[in-house]
Amino acid sequence: MSDGWTRPAPAFPAFPPRPGLAVEEIVGRSIVTVVARAGQEAALRAVVETALGVLLPEGPRRVAGQEIAFIGIGPGKWLAIGLPVAALAPLADVAAIVDQSGAYGVLSLTGAGARRLLGRAVAIDLDDAAFGAGSVATTIIEHVGVTLVRTAATPPAYELYVVRSYARSLAHWLHETMG
> Is the model's pLDDT at 51 over the cut of 50?
yes
**Hey, where are the domains in the chain?**
22-27+102-178, 31-99
Q: What is the pLDDT of residue 146?
A: 97
- pTM score of the predicted model: 0.91
Q: What is the mean pLDDT of the segment spanning 60-73? A: 96
Tell me whether residue 164 is exposed, middle or buried, using C-beta atoms within 10 angstroms of its C-beta: 0 to 12, 13 to 18, 19 or more: middle
Q: What is the pLDDT of residue 7?
A: 60
The DSSP code sequence of 106-154 is EEEEESHHHHHHHHTT--S--STTTS-TTBEEEEEETTEEEEEEEEETT
Domain at 22-27+102-178, CATH class: alpha beta
Q: Which residue has the higher pLDDT, 78 or 28?
A: 78
Tell me whether residue 159 is exposed, middle or buried, using C-beta atoms within 10 angstroms of its C-beta: 0 to 12, 13 to 18, 19 or more: buried
Q: What is the mean pLDDT of the segment spanning 25-39? A: 95
Q: Which residue has the higher pLDDT, 16 or 107?
A: 107
Intrachain domains 22-27+102-178 and 31-99 with the same fold: no
Q: What is the CATH architecture of 31-99?
A: 2-Layer Sandwich (3.30)
